[in-house]
Amino acid sequence: MREYGNPVIGGFFPDPSVCRVGDDYYLVCSSFEYFPGVPIFHSRDLVHWQQIGNVLDRPAQLRLPPGIPASRGVYAPTIRHHDGRFYMITTLVGAGGTCIVSSDRPEGPWSDPVWFDLPGIDPDLAWDESGDCWCAVSGINVARIDLRRGTVLEGPYPAWPGTGLQFPEAPHLYRIGDWWYLLIAEGGTARGHCVSVARARSPRGPYETAPANPILTHRSTNRPIQSTGHADLIQAADGTWWMLLLGTRPRGGTPGFHVLGRETFLVPVTWQDGWPTTGPVEERHSAPSTWHPLPEPASRDDFDGPSLAPCWVSPRSRPHTSWSLTERPGWLTLHATGPTLDRPGHTFIGRRQQHHDCRIQARMDPGTATGGLSVRLDEAHHYDLEVGGGHVRVIARIGPLRQQVASRPLPPGPVNLAIDIRTHGILPPSLSSSDQLDSEPLGVFATGPDTIVLSAGEEPLAELDGRYLSTEVATGFTGRVIGMYATARSAAFDWFTYQPVQP
């Protein structure tokens, strides 16, 4: 029997929402403070996903305040297809509220936003048999809306409070047969996260609660995948049902540290007595019958194209004056817009870390600049491999502390920089209790999630504990992003590679 591995989209791609058009599937995720926003993926089988763009890819669509805190911004988008057109609705927390954009093509261009005065986050879209559009938001409330004018026509009505757990949110509303199903997340987006469902004969309600709620949760288990929730249902082209949802993969000693952010997982769904049901989210599942391999995306960027690939993101904005692919053809040139990575306003272009074990390399010509590679969670949590002033150094920013960990002279000219992230010897989650720890020889296991090794040329400068670049330490909703930066004058990068490594 064929199998697929979870997550189906690794790394900081949370809050998945999916729609199907014929044999094609399209999925969007939250992007928070990063620009461009709302990454969009395409698949033919729900397993292999390829990023085809970003929905909010120009400042007119996504204008985040310069000082917006990390983990604010774009929350929980929903994508739907109706009458030949794609719609994406989301909430920009701290940057304008709820908005909708639309397009004839999933690759875009997408329209400018239509804004709604609708309290709440995690908005959803569904159409009834009359063609009226309904929007559900966290709370859980439901309203009938006018997509073109951005107005609320009816409601919002209190729909269903969930089962009594905290933070009922992430509603998705579906018309399936004679019922309207309301799928929500509750229990908080940490280890207590879960999926619950209710149904009604009308989107207005009243809703009855499924007898087996929550229909999916991994709370209080030792499963390697945790925080399962924020799900979206989809019926495949062959008639089978599936659920895309977020989860985390914590590692290391208690309490466990997840460093990649909340990732996208896939689980099969069956129907029993008119209710959707599912088993636990496993690392390996039987594959959908429509499984067709897709080529893996390239892991090397030589910066030879006319524009940046859609995987590249920057915190809050990416001014055109801060980067160039044409000033030095075949190189990415970065111009400093701020003197430090410790505050917003700096020049940084990076991509998400998607594998626990990986190797990142770049060739940099610093000239007279200061810049290099950084492993970033936010302004207060990052490790930097920095070149400038004739030296290469490692800088660790952990909360209020900023420390130069290592430094050595460097001859002028281009230099190869490398970051190796490895979990070899790291304590697995199943060995996190104190009695199991006592049974192991002292020093065999490290208790952080991974080790980050920063090197220039062939010589490592430092090995740092990865726990300080985790959500459990830094808090927030994002995951690691690794990339290139400049904090003084202009630096150029010839190529950048990201390579998964077998642990």
Q: Specify which residues 434 forms β-bridges with.
A: none
Measure the CA–CA gap between 173 and 125, rounded to whole angstroms. 7
Rg (the chain; Cα; Å): 23
Please indicate whether residue 458 is annotated as part of the active site.
no
Question: Are residues 269 and 356 both part of a single domain?
Answer: no
Residue 294 falls within a domain, yes or no? no
Give yes or no: residues 262 and 357 share one domain. no
Rounded Cα distance between 418 and 432, Å, is 31
Inform me whether the pLDDT recorded for 90 exceeds 70. Answer: yes
What is the spatial distance between Cα 318 and Cα 58, in angstroms, rounded to a whole number?
9
Fill in the amino acid letter for 346: H
pLDDT digits (tens, 9 = 90+) for 34-44: 999 999 999 99
In a domain, 295, yes or no: no
For residue 292, tell me if it sits in a domain: no
Asked whether residue 326 falls in the same domain as residue 440, the answer is: yes
| CATH number for the domain that contains residue 439 | 2.60.120.200
pLDDT digits (tens, 9 = 90+) for 253-286: 999 999 999 999 999 999 999 999 999 999 988 8
Average pLDDT over residues 400-415: 96
SS (H, E, C) 130-176: CCCEEEEECCCEEEEEECCCCEEEEEEEECCCCCCCCCCEEEEEEEE
Residue 293 lies in a domain: no
pLDDT in tens, 340-365: 999 999 999 999 999 999 999 999 99
User: In this prediction, what percent of the chain has a pLDDT beyond 90?
Assistant: 90
Q: Is 23 within a domain?
A: yes
- What is each CA distance from 331 to 51, 146, 411, 490, 494, in whole angstroms? 23, 46, 20, 12, 5
Q: What mean pLDDT comes out for the span 167-195?
A: 97
Which of 254, 286, 318 delimits the end of a domain? 286
Handedness of CA 208, 212, 216, 220 (dihedral sign): positive
Active site residue 282: no
User: Do 237 and 206 fall into the same domain?
Assistant: yes
Question: Is the separation of the CB atoms in 502 and 358 below 8 Å?
Answer: no
* Residue 127 covered by a domain: yes
- Note whether 350 and 259 are same-domain residues: no
Indicate the residue among 228, 263, 286 that finishes a domain.
Answer: 286
User: What are 154's two structure tokens?
Assistant: 């009816």
320 and 221 in a common domain: no
Q: State whether 324 and 466 are in the same domain.
A: yes
Q: Provide the residue range defining the domain that includes 20.
A: 3-286
Long-range Cβ pairs for the range 201-207 (8 Å, 24+): 203/126, 203/128, 203/134, 203/142, 203/144, 203/159, 203/173, 204/142, 204/155, 204/157, 204/159, 205/142, 205/157, 205/159, 205/160, 207/159, 207/160, 207/182
SS3 content of the chain, % helix, strand, coil (to 5): 5, 50, 50
Q: Which of 230, 255, 286 is the last residue of a domain?
A: 286
85 lies in a domain? Answer: yes
Q: Are residues 430 and 489 in the same domain?
A: yes
Residues 8 and 88 in one domain: yes
Tokens 């001014």: give the residue: 319
Above 50 in pLDDT, residue 157?
A: yes
Asked if residue 291 is part of any domain, the answer here is no
Lowest mean pLDDT among 131-140, 288-297, 428-437: 428-437
Q: Which of 15, 45, 124, 384 is catalytic?
A: 15
Of the candidates 33, 57, 169, 465, the residue annotated as catalytic is 169
Q: Give the per-residue pLDDT at 130.
A: 94
pTM score, two decimals? 0.94
CATH number of residue 111's parent domain? 2.115.10.20
How many domains does one find in the chain? Answer: 2
Amino acid, single-letter form, for residue 134: W
CA distance 457 to 461: 10
Give the chain's end-to-end CA distance (angstroms, integer): 26
Q: What is the pLDDT of residue 429?
A: 52
Residues 280 and 376 in one domain: no
| Pair 328, 447 in one domain | yes
